[in-house]
Amino acid sequence: MLTLLKGGRVVDPANDVDAVRDVLIRDGRIVDDPGPGARPDATYDATGMVVMAGGIDLHSHIAGGKMNLARALTPEMRGVIPPAAEVGLKYAAMGYTMAVEPAMVPSNARQAHLEMADIPIIDRGAYAMLGNDDFLLRLMLARRDHRAIADYVGTMMAATRALGVKVVNPGGISAFKFNTRKLELDEAGPFYGQTPRAVLHTLARALQTLGVPHPLHVHCSNLGIPGNVDTTLGTIAGAEGLPVHLTHLQFHSYGAEGDRKFSSAASRIAEAVNAAKNVSIDVGQVMFGQTVTASADTMAQYRNSRFARPAKFVCMDIECDGGCGLVPFRYRSRDFVNALQWAIGLELFLLVDDPWRVALTTDHPNGGVFTSYPRLIRLLMDKSFRDDALQQIEPHARAATQLGAIKREYTLREIAILTRAGPARLLGLKDRGHLAPGAAADITVYRPGDDAEAMFAAPALVFKDGGLVARDGKVLDDVLAEPPRGATHVVRPDRDRAIERELRDWHDRHMLLSFDRFALRDDEVGSQDRLVLHPCRPRAM
């Protein structure tokens, strides 16, 4: 079956294309023009429209035990944490064709995959959370060779069917289990004596050794604390040039100046990010409204629980490998701190120069729900819209932000980078996020207009693997009746299996589950799903 998308303006920054041209689809892939003899079976007129690759969200909490806990904690809230089916449908309707769950606790991986298997249409992946696992901290305490640590990290990625690795408050979640309430970057954690800096560097190096085509995803220490800018700058330095992706950076860009001891440090952070080419970021933009924050960072979430609205929260210590904390939040434009958080996020977007190193996120649902992306895009593209919004926020926050002075407006090309080309490149997805022949035919066609929010909220056409799934911002009825299944993207590094012996022994001695049962087998979850393996490029170090 040959499908022709005719005459659209193709915005495909990965291939340096911004031009009117046809796009041809065959068997779920984009193909070269087969020449004048070929007759398309279906033709869509895209004249006057903008054609981009399908959107890719590299950080969105869409599955796993903590999302169920969030749902159970807030039964009175509807729509904040959508059920699995709606996650896929809402993303697809918005022109997104892939989302990655960023905080899969290894012990909860099987459940997360069971849940993700119920997310229709879009492709999925997950980062395994390491860096608070007692096993790793113990390897570090024993000063084990970096090869052994890389073997362990690779084993955990394979066992949990992960696409990448995330570290959350390095060592801090473990420290909280020992009743340590704050852990500075260079402070030795309890019992294992490891500093967050060492944990972070160890994991970044392990990924480098394994050749994982994706930087270590880093949720820095001291989330949400006024003055945490120094920790964040220290973290950037601590990577020592190794590839790191700093996630929801907005929550880590706070100064402690002014009357209220809370200020924007976005320009200092942006300057450091601009200078450090090994660093990529996503913002975790705050959007005003009700949400439930969900994080593995129990240390931070416990601290933030006093701001819970409604006043309730959950913390859970998990299985000697992680934790989770759920705190409902209402971000209010009339609240000084919330308003400044909103402004800091936008400052970061606008002050970091290189769009290839920025991904557009709200850290769903932590800063806001993913369905608010179209509004966020308009805030970035439309200075007058942004200035109007700025007028609405709490006046002291307005005075404390330089947002009004920033003239930058994102171009369509830059938005395409932030929302698909960049994330695909950061994730090492060779055949996603662009529109060259050979790429997956995940394609979104937008109807341009003055209102970028309307444009991005309701794309005219959305194709997943070459099939039309949504039109005018609505998933098609026949797709709703029997939604297609997306693929699960994984990385399975080559590694020395010797470490498995130690893991087996560890599980037998300390866990309630043998290693064999801990590790996922290919035949057990989502066998109907396609598993896409991304190769590693191991490096001798």
Partner 1 sequence: MENAACPFCGLGCDDLRVERNGTALAVTSTDCPLARAGFGGDAAAAAAIDGRPAVLDAAVDRAASILAGARAPVVHGLAADIDGQRAAIALARRIGAAVDHQGGDALARNLSALGDGGWITASLAEIRNRADLIVSFGDPADAMPRFWQRVMWPDATLIADEPPARDVVLIGDGIGPRAGASPQARAAAIVPMARDAMPAVAAALSALARGGKVFADPAGGIPVAMLARIVERLGAARYGVIAWNAAAMDFPQADLAVAALAELLHALNRTTRTVGLPLGGAGNALGAQATSLWSTGQAPRLRFVDGEPRRDAQLWSAARMIAAGECDALLWIDALSRRPPPIAPGIPVIALARPGTDFASPPAVFIPVGAPGVDHQGHVLRGDAIVALRLDKLRDSNLPAVVEVMERILSAVMAGLDPAIHADQSPGGAGSVDARLKAGHDGDKKQGTPC
Distance CA 54, CA 419 (A): 9
Tell me if the bond preceding 310 is cis, omega within 30° of 0: yes
Distance CA 355, CA 282 (A): 10
Helix (H, G, I), strand (E, B) or coil at 431: coil
Q: What angle do CA 124, 127, 132 make, to 5 degrees?
A: 155
Residues in the interface with partner 1 (CB under 8 A) total: 56
For position 326 contacting partner 1 by CB under 8 A, the verdict is yes
Tokens at 134, concatenated: 């007692």
C-alpha torsion 488→489→494→497, nearest 10: -30
203 binds, among Zn ion, partner 1, none (CB under 5 to 8 A by kind): none
By CB under 5 A, which span of 188-196, 357-365, 368-376, 478-486 interacts with Zn ion? 357-365
Tokens at 184, concatenated: 């500075």
257-276 footprint of partner 1 as x/- string (CB under 8 A): --------------------
When the beta carbons of 370 and 385 are compared against Zn ion, the nearer one is 370
Closest listed residue to residue 382, CA positions, set 458, 457, 451, 446: 451
By CB under 8 A, which span of 175-183, 387-395, 433-441, 493-501 interacts with partner 1? 175-183
- CB-based contact 171:137 (threshold 8 Å): yes
When the beta carbons of 123 and 363 are compared against Zn ion, the nearer one is 363
For position 480 contacting partner 1 by CB under 8 A, the verdict is no
Nearest to Zn ion by Cβ — which residue?
363
By CB under 8 A, which span of 199-207, 246-254, 265-273, 313-321 interacts with partner 1? 313-321
Q: Closest separation between CB of residue 72 and partner 1, Å?
A: 5
CA distances from 474 to 90, 94, 358, 459, 480 (A): 9, 8, 28, 9, 10
When the beta carbons of 88 and 284 are compared against Zn ion, the nearer one is 284
Closest listed residue to residue 51, CA positions, set 22, 26, 29: 22
When the beta carbons of 118 and 257 are compared against partner 1, the nearer one is 118
When the beta carbons of 320 and 454 are compared against partner 1, the nearer one is 320
Distance CA 358, CA 28 (A): 28
By CB under 8 A, which span of 33-41, 205-213, 435-443, 506-514 interacts with partner 1? 506-514
When the beta carbons of 102 and 486 are compared against Zn ion, the nearer one is 102
In the set 297, 363, 382, 394, which binds Zn ion (CB under 5 A)? 363
Tell me if the bond preceding 365 is cis, omega within 30° of 0: yes
Distance CA 322, CA 104 (A): 9
When the beta carbons of 114 and 148 are compared against partner 1, the nearer one is 114
Residue at token pair 């007759």: 39
* 68-127: contacts with partner 1 (CB under 8 A): 68-69, 71-76, 78, 81-86, 105, 107-108, 110-111, 114-115, 118
* 124-163: contacts with partner 1 (CB under 8 A): 134
Pairing between β-strand 55-57 and β-strand 467-471 as defined by DSSP bridges = unpaired
Distance CA 106, CA 320 (A): 10
In the set 184, 187, 230, 319, which binds partner 1 (CB under 8 A)? 319
Amino acid identity for residue 227 in this structure: G
Closest listed residue to residue 59, CA positions, set 410, 475, 422, 474: 422
188-227 footprint of partner 1 as x/- string (CB under 8 A): ---x------------------------------------
Distance CA 337, CA 288 (A): 12
For position 101 contacting Zn ion by CB under 5 A, the verdict is no
Q: Closest separation between CB of residue 342 and partner 1, Å?
A: 26
361-400 footprint of partner 1 as x/- string (CB under 8 A): ----------------------------------------
When the beta carbons of 102 and 466 are compared against Zn ion, the nearer one is 102
By CB under 5 A, which span of 100-108, 262-270, 349-357, 525-533 interacts with Zn ion? 100-108
363 binds, among partner 1, Zn ion, none (CB under 5 to 8 A by kind): Zn ion
For position 512 contacting partner 1 by CB under 8 A, the verdict is yes
Residue 227 φ/ψ region, left for φ over 0, alpha for ψ in the -120 to 50 degree band, beta for the rest: left
206 binds, among Zn ion, partner 1, none (CB under 5 to 8 A by kind): none
Residues in the chain: 541
Tell me if the bond preceding 226 is cis, omega within 30° of 0: no
CA distances from 2 to 387, 432, 440 (A): 46, 20, 14
For position 57 contacting Zn ion by CB under 5 A, the verdict is no
Residues in the interface with Zn ion (CB under 5 A) total: 2
The footprint of partner 1 (CB under 8 A) covers 63, 65, 67-69, 71-76, 78, 81-86, 105, 107-108, 110-111, 114-115, 118, 134, 176-179, 191, 302, 308, 311-320, 326, 509-514, 516-517, 521, 524-525
